[in-house]
Structure 1
Amino acid sequence: MANIQVNPTRMELTKLKKKLTTAIRGHKLLKDKRDELMRQFLDLVRENKALREKVEAGIHSANKNFVLARSVMDDEVLNVSLMAPRQEVFLECHTKNVMSVNIPQFEYRTKTPDENDIYPYGYAFTSSDLDGAVKSLQDILPDMLKLAEVEKACQLLAAEIEKTRRRVNALEHVMIPQMQQKIKYIVMKLDENERSTQVRLMKVKDMMLEKAHHYSD
């Protein structure tokens, strides 16, 4: 306590007690926030795992169909078939606030609603395997966007969890103990001053009584 730099007054004691109450309340709120962030983070991690497996399976299927298409089609015909895509995709990004973290949300729309517009070629000189590859990529697109959304959400939540954890530890192991130590120091000093005052008052009383006793003689 010798290194504590604080003014041992009742006003300072009142201020520190108010700060301590606020710090304890903030510590509880931050712990609750950290726990809720962890719960949502773990849910997202499980969702991310399932989506990644689904997307990887879809991409594997599309690649397999492309390999089959290349085996029965000339490279020149394949390249010309995919050179000028007919369909277009427009992506919009919004955000959702989750425990003070802005989580991205992706929405997409196509240029035309016709599902057959994903094929930018005629069917006369192309393989059905190429149709299957293009269709596989179209089917996996929503899951790919959802995967990107969930992975980014996991990154943002992980960063927020780490920041909240540091704040909780700072309050729990540094700020609250320091304020408690200062309060203890001030209370000790005030008690010491009060005892000194009482001792002085008793001495003054004894002197006055002694003086009065001498006068009575």
Structure 2
Amino acid sequence: MSGKDKINIFPSRGAQTLMKARLAGAVKGHSLLKKKAEALQMRFRQILAKIVETKTLMGDVMKDAAFSLAEAKFASGGDFNQGVIQNVTKARIKLRSRMDNVAGTTLPVFESMEDGVDTYELTGLSRGGQQMAKLKINYKRAIELLIELASLQASFVTLDNVVKITNRRVNAIEHVIIPRYERTLQYILSELDELEREEFYRLKKIQEKKKQARDKNEKAKAALKEAGILAEAEARNMITDSHDEDLLF
């Protein structure tokens, strides 16, 4: 197992507990990021479908607006651009922006709002008033669709970047971080098992050495007893030994 496959850490019980906590955190983080990625992808698909629908509708609305402009010019008997330009002093339809939160991601949302009244409502009153009213309605609808399409495309671009980043993080945790933690934990467990086996072998060898020493002493005592030396030496030690052990009452 190379250094890239695991984290360089000293194998111990504390390191084992630490790696278990890291692995549990990585698994939980992967689960949360996976749910976030799924929520973002679902919203991404909804926005994509809405963009396709809005663009299709936008073509029809712009076509109707262009025909309405041609009809209004034909009915009014000429160009009325100068009259509209002179009467318009400020924008009637304004743009308002807000932020929408989707799984912790803020998306820009644009909305249209009306401010004021129609300052050129008398335009076309002499001729082509009906076509002029139809023209206003069609172009107002076209502007609202343009604002909606701009909002959808801005959210689409933002979501596209966030989905890519989230998917990279999910893949990194799933295929790099979690396997590395698992291999590190496996390495720590194998090293701890090896240390336990070495400790067991060491204790076994110590017990074997002690047993050999006891057997050797027993054999030596038995040989001295057979020679009659040990009994005489023990009796002499009992008489001459002036050190008495402490007695506990």
TM-score grouping bracket, smaller chain normalisation = 0.7 to 0.9
Q: Is the 8 A contact 1:93 1:107 kept in 2?
A: yes
Among all aligned residue pairs of Structure 1 and Structure 2, give the percentage whose two residues are the same amino acid: 23
CA distance in 2, matches of 1:150, 1:212: 89
- CA distance in 1 between partners of 2:17 and 2:120 (Å): 72
* Residue 201 (structure 1) aligned with residue 213 (structure 2): no
**SS of residue in 1 equivalent to 2:11:** coil
Could you tell me which residue of structure 2 aligns to residue 99 of structure 1? Answer: 103
8 A Cα contact 1:13 1:183, kept in partner? yes
Letter in 1 for 2:55: R
How many angstroms apart in 2 are the aligned matches of 1:118 and 1:189?
A: 86
When residues 211 and 142 of structure 1 are mapped into structure 2, their CA distance, relative to the original with a 3 A threshold, is same
> Residue in 1 aligned with 2:25?
22
Structure number with the bigger relative contact order (C-alpha 8 A, sep ≥ 6) is: 1
TM-score by length of 1: 0.87
Q: Tell me the equivalent position of 1:81.
A: 83
For residue 48 of structure 1, what is the aligned residue in structure 2?
A: 51
| Preserved CA contact (<8 Å) 1:118 1:134 | no
Normalising by structure 2, we get a TM-score of 0.77
Rounded to whole Å, the distance in 1 between the matches of 2:95 and 2:122 is 20
Q: CA RMSD in A?
A: 2.3
- State how far apart, in whole Å, the 2-side matches of 1:118 and 1:152 are: 33
**Runs of 4+ off more than 4 Å:** 68-75, 116-120, 125-131
CA distance in 2, matches of 1:184, 1:80: 81
Q: Give distance in 2, aligned partners of 1:16 and 1:8.
A: 10
Counterparts of 1:120 and 1:199 in 2: how far apart (Å)? 105
d(CA) in 1 for partners of 2:120 and 2:101? 35
The count of residues paired between Structure 1 and Structure 2 equals 214
Return 5+ residue gaps in structure 1 as ranges: none
The 3-state SS of whatever aligns with 2:96 is strand
Alignment match, 1:149: 151
Instruction: Give the superposition deviation at 1:120.
Output: 6.8
